[in-house]
Amino acid sequence: MDNELDATFGALADPTRRAILARLCRSDAAVLELAEPFDMSQPAISKHLKVLERAGLIARGRDAQRRPCRLEPRRLKQAADWLGTYRQFWEASYARLDGYLLELQAKEKTHDAKKTRNHRRAR
Amino acid sequence: MTPRKLEIIAEPGKTSFTTRRIVDAPRELVFQAFTKCEHLKRWMGPRSLTMVSCETDLRPGGRYRFVFRSPDGNEVGFSGEFREIVRPERIVRTFVYEPIPDAAALETLELEETDGRTTIRTTTVHKTVENRDGHVGSGLEGGMSDGYARLDELLAGLLQAR
């Protein structure tokens, strides 16, 4: 995973930032609008926006007053693709692990049963 | 039996992401399966990949390395160093995908047993994020605890909503 994806996942690990992204799915919005549903100061929201912007998940307009935010789907797609590959690798691995653990436990049982039998015989 | 779902989640303050998966075996056995090459070769990676090399020196400071070969003959290595080992419940290790050696991560594997089943939990923290977002997280995320998000579902949802 490269640094861009690190930043993306780091940014997504926060519920406020996820809520902001969900809001931006509907339409572009300025800081004041984004701050409305949260019990948070505007500077606090601005900090979250900076994290999202640095992660490439949003872009901000040039209008100095409003600086409207919009979602950047390219980075979202990149992260979704990476996760897809990761999921495929580990889902396949865990599915094999399920079977393998069953096999190991079956072997253990046979082994234990033999031990018990031998033990009884020795007595 | 259909395989259980692998959860990939983002939790506040736990960059970058966490995975959770339940298996039907006691954790002692799961710990062995995750740490011994004779076992790892039998399950790690999709069937299309062959683990052609496996080394693990399971002690703090010890190194590990796995090499996989794809059907087209390409080989790719994953390696790192063990930092902490608590048998049979916890392993902390660094992780490097060798084609991108700069993007090292710190992985924590935690095993929790309930009624003979084991929950396998992995947390992957990328060092760059740790450094970069550490100070941001401390101030902003205090008191926020409304749970985790299923990362891939979240991403799919956001992309779809566009």
Question: Does any CB of chain B come closer than 8 Å to the CB of residue A91?
Answer: yes
Average pLDDT rounded to a whole number, residues A106-122 = 80
* A63 φ/ψ angles, rounded to the nearest 5 degrees: -50, 110
- What SS3 string covers A51-113? HHHHCCCEEECCCCCCCCEEECHHHHHHHHHHHHHHHHHHHHHHHHHHHHHHHHHHHHHHHHH
- E runs forming strands in chain B: 7-11, 14-23, 50-56, 63-69, 75-86, 90-97, 105-114, 117-126, 149-150
Alpha-carbon distance A15 to B137, whole Å?
A: 12
Average pLDDT rounded to a whole number, residues B36-61 = 95
pTM: 0.78
Query: Is residue B132's pLDDT more than 50?
Result: no
Give the tens place of pLDDT for each residue, A49-91. 999 999 999 999 877 777 899 999 888 888 888 888 888 999 9
Question: Does any CB of chain B come closer than 8 Å to the CB of residue A107?
Answer: no
Query: Is residue B145's pLDDT more than 50?
Result: no
Q: Give the DSSP letter of residue B60.
A: T
Chain B residue closest in CA terms to A105 = B25
**In the structure, what pLDDT confidence band is assigned to residue A122 with cuts at 50, 70 and 90?**
low
Alpha-carbon distance B37 to B44, whole Å?
A: 10
ipTM: 0.81
In the prediction, which pLDDT does B144 show? 31
In the prediction, which pLDDT does A3 show? 67
Count of Cβ atoms closer than 10 Å to residue A33 Cβ: 14
Chain B, 35 to 94: residues with Cβ < 8 Å from chain A are 39, 42-47
Among candidates B25, B129, B162 on the partner chain, residue whose Cβ is nearest the Cβ of A105: B25
A75 to chain B, closest Cα gap in Å: 10
Query: Is residue A38's pLDDT more than 60?
Result: yes
Q: Residue B49 — left, alpha, or beta (φ > 0 → left; ψ -120 to 50 → alpha)?
A: beta
